[in-house]
Chain A
Amino acid sequence: MPQTPSPPPSLMPHEEPLPPRYDLWTAAVFFCVGTAILWLCWQMPTYREQGEIYTAPGLVPALHGVIIIVLSLWLGFRAIGRGALHAPREAAAPREGYSNTRLFLAATLCLAFAVGLVGRLPFWLAAAIFVFAFATLFEWQPGLAPRERARRMAIAAVTGLATGGIVVLVFERVFLVRLP
């Protein structure tokens, strides 16, 4: 009877392992974070003159910093042991159907809404513009007939206005929650 291949013990059955080089870089970042924490804790006052050293503000975060450094070294040496320094410098194989362009477009639109629109426009309008722009850009297809394009844009506009209106109505009017 054919058996489904079992994944490495450290991963969930639906996950794929990463190349060890990624772990080495991650370890380096965590090492820097841990070192920075430790350095910042060292700068903090101890309030020793008030009689108690164990309540010093930097004590507990410094402990976390030390543990992060130790764990990052463990991750780094493990990655080296798994061939991170000798592995070919290829990027991990792209997963089928996954798109970084879509990812960056979504991230940019979300950032533009949260940082650029929220607080500068009435919330219903900011939400309507964001939802309209998001849906229109992601549904944009170069060869689409003008009539179909207009229909999709109309649906996006209605969705945007409905979102803005319903969010304001439900959150602000019904549940008395403040909106940005």
Chain B
Amino acid sequence: MLDSLSQFGAAFGTFMSPGAIVTVLWATFLGIVIGALPGLTATMGVALMTTLTFTMPHTEAILVLVCIYVGAIYGGSRSAILLNIPGTPASACSTLDGFPLARQGLAGRAMGISTSGSWLGTLFGTLCVATLTPVLAELALTFQSFEFFWIAVFGIVIAGTLSGGDALKGYLAGFLGLWIATIGQEPHYNFQRFAFGYPDLAGGIGLLPALVGAFGVAEVLQAMRAPAAKAVANTVDSVIPRIGDVLQYWRTILRSGAIGTFIGILPGLGEDTAAWSSYAAARRASKEKEKYGKGSIEGLMSAETGESACVPGAIIPVLTLAVPGSAPAAALMAAMLIHDINPGPMLMIQTPEFFYQIVAMLVIADMSKLLFGLTLVRPLLWILLVPRERLMPIVFVLCTVGAFAITSRVFDIYVMLFFGLIGFVLRELKFPMAPMILGLVLGELLESNLTRALVLSDGSIAPFFTRPISGVLAAITIFSVVWSIPAAQNAIRGGMRGLLRRRATAG
């Protein structure tokens, strides 16, 4: 216990130099700006900044990316409240009550609620990172190939089921991502799969160009297709959060924090699902349901707390299993790998100081976010008014640089364009993007562990179902797929009801 505290102290000490504080401030501010601007998402921000931080020492680089991530998820609520357009997909839920509040002349109060909810949400999630990560990492150390195979399949299935769309389309997107991950040289015989003789394709599809395409280029195209946004207010009332709002809704804050963190831990779901789930739970439990959708303070608080608690939550599986909890966390994980940090069960053994540093980074980024949330209201309002006709080409230029810079391959620019097009079309067809990106991330984990497990069991699939943890993961995965079939869902519900009725009659 004392050792852990001293490690936390040392980690905080790492970031107390003037240079580190300046880095935190500019990175968080940049993150808030990225989040606030419609068309720029947290995933794109983290992916692009991975390029910029390529030459930095790893601690400083990850600090920048964590600040961007935390800032961007919070920044999205600014445009949600003032423009009725979510700056990031995570903030879509905040438009429901944030924009009506702004129209009532309470834009400042709405931003204050957003700031306090977001700050407390991230703090709650960070506390969970500090307490749950060591426990989960310990558990993950007992996993073998069979379990890791199911973790990968479970990630795809759960992301497809819950990522806020059609579950079937989520599965398709996930398996498409898993297949794309197999393009290039395979690990056992260096055979070039699906390369058709092109050396660039034989090198495989890079995660960062794909992320920049799916979340950057696709956003540029969508933003240019959509109607232009107009701010609802040029001036705002006080943005200082009211203590009364926080105290009155403390149950909502705790509930949303827990839901947000839990959704974050589940692979690939992300902040938008966390916000909608927290909002739905708050509405169900609320005494003032009729205010929801018309400017409910509780509704806005729940959405903001949920999405911000999801940020640290999404980092937990990265640190313990090398499985990202959200799309921005996938970009963050890619950055860790680029900087020779190996996320996964061995992280707590090989580089335990990095875990404590991540916790410190999250706390410092959260404090910095609070500072900017309370002070920089007017500059953020001006930034929101930049016309997209001038902003989007700049975003595309940055996307091109971001895709190219990691490996200096022009091919990666074409990968970005391809994924931009695929991302745009699939989104128009209501396919969620998160499972596809998760598939791309988990492809290698799935393949290496499936082949290893089959070699170990000499081709028998029994251990995939008979080993205790493997069996549980298999059961949850299969149940999730079955549950997504409406007929099966109705049959299970009917069966449960019948069983309960029979027990009640018997009793």
Which A residues have a C-beta under 8 Å from some C-beta of B? 1, 4, 10-15, 17-18, 22-23, 26, 30, 33, 37, 40, 44-45, 47, 50, 52-55, 57-61, 63-65, 67-68, 71-72, 74-75, 78, 96-100, 102-103, 105-107, 109-111, 113-115, 118-119, 123, 127, 130-131, 134-135, 138-139, 155-156, 159-160, 163-164, 167, 170-171, 175-180
Query: Which residue in chain B gives the minimum CB-CB distance to A78?
Result: B168
Q: In the complex, given contacts A15-B430, A115-B414, what are 17 additional A-B residue pairs having Cβ atoms less than 8 angstroms apart? A: A4-B293, A18-B429, A64-B178, A64-B179, A68-B175, A68-B179, A71-B172, A97-B227, A103-B224, A106-B220, A106-B225, A113-B400, A114-B416, A138-B224, A163-B397, A177-B51, A180-B400
Residue of B166, B189, B446, B451 touching A10 (CB-CB under 8 A) = B166
Residue of A64, A71, A107, A167 touching B221 (CB-CB under 8 A) = A107
CA–CA, A4 and B451, complex, Å: 50
Contact A177 B454 (CB under 8 A): no
Contact A47 B189 (CB under 8 A): yes
Residues from chain A with a CB closer than 8 A to the CB of B404 are: 178-180
Report B383-421 CB contacts with A as 1/0, cut-off 8 Å: 000010110111011101100110010100110110011
Contact A159 B451 (CB under 8 A): no
Query: Which residue in chain B gives the minimum CB-CB distance to A4?
Result: B293
Residues from chain A with a CB closer than 8 A to the CB of B417 are: 110-111, 114-115
Smallest Cβ distance from A22 to chain B, in angstroms? 6
Contact A180 B186 (CB under 8 A): no
Whether B471 is near chain A, meaning CB under 8 Å from some CB there, is no
Whether B340 is near chain A, meaning CB under 8 Å from some CB there, is no
Smallest Cβ distance from B335 to chain A, in angstroms? 14
Residues from chain A with a CB closer than 8 A to the CB of B217 are: 110
Residues from chain B with a CB closer than 8 A to the CB of A47 are: 188-189
Report, nearest first, the 3 A-B pairs whose CB atoms are least far apart.
A97-B227, A134-B393, A106-B224
Q: How many A-B residue pairs have CB under 8 A?
A: 190
Query: Which residue in chain A gives the minimum CB-CB distance to B404?
Result: A180
Whether B356 is near chain A, meaning CB under 8 Å from some CB there, is no
Residue of A1, A97, A163 touching B226 (CB-CB under 8 A) = A97
Main secondary structure of the interface of A (DSSP, over half): helix
Residues from chain B with a CB closer than 8 A to the CB of A105 are: 224
Residues from chain A with a CB closer than 8 A to the CB of B392 are: 106, 134
Query: Which residue in chain A gives the minimum CB-CB distance to B185?
Result: A57
Query: Which residue in chain B gives the minimum CB-CB distance to A54?
Result: B454
Residue of B56, B165, B414, B416 touching A11 (CB-CB under 8 A) = B165
Smallest Cβ distance from A164 to chain B, in angstroms? 8
Whether B110 is near chain A, meaning CB under 8 Å from some CB there, is no
Q: A75 and B394 in contact (CB under 8 A), knowing A13-B276, A67-B175?
A: no
Smallest Cβ distance from B219 to chain A, in angstroms? 11
Smallest Cβ distance from A109 to chain B, in angstroms? 8
Query: Which residue in chain A gives the minimum CB-CB distance to B183?
Result: A61
Q: List 24 A-B contacts (CB under 8 A).
A: A4-B293, A11-B166, A12-B92, A18-B429, A18-B430, A22-B429, A40-B194, A45-B191, A50-B189, A54-B451, A57-B188, A57-B189, A74-B168, A97-B226, A103-B224, A113-B400, A118-B400, A118-B410, A118-B413, A156-B390, A175-B56, A177-B55, A179-B405, A180-B400
Q: A98 and B227 in contact (CB under 8 A), knowing A12-B165, A119-B410, A175-B55?
A: yes
CA–CA, A54 and B408, complex, Å: 35
Interface residues of B in 151-196 (CB under 8 A from A): 164-169, 171-172, 175-176, 178-179, 182, 186, 188-189, 191, 193-194
Whether B290 is near chain A, meaning CB under 8 Å from some CB there, is yes
Residues from chain A with a CB closer than 8 A to the CB of B450 are: 60, 63
Residues from chain B with a CB closer than 8 A to the CB of A130 are: 393, 396-397
Residue of A4, A61, A103, A119 touching B182 (CB-CB under 8 A) = A61
Residues from chain B with a CB closer than 8 A to the CB of A139 are: 387, 389
- For B179, B393, B398, the residue with the greatest tally of chain A CB atoms inside 10 Å of its CB is B393
Residues from chain A with a CB closer than 8 A to the CB of B390 are: 131, 135, 155-156, 159
Residues from chain A with a CB closer than 8 A to the CB of B178 are: 64
Interface residues of B in 427-452 (CB under 8 A from A): 429-430, 446-447, 450-451
Whether B52 is near chain A, meaning CB under 8 Å from some CB there, is yes
Smallest Cβ distance from B400 to chain A, in angstroms? 6
CA–CA, A171 and B50, complex, Å: 12
Report B250-272 CB contacts with A as 1/0, cut-off 8 Å: 00000000000000000000001
Residues from chain A with a CB closer than 8 A to the CB of B189 are: 45, 47, 50, 55, 57
Whether B455 is near chain A, meaning CB under 8 Å from some CB there, is yes
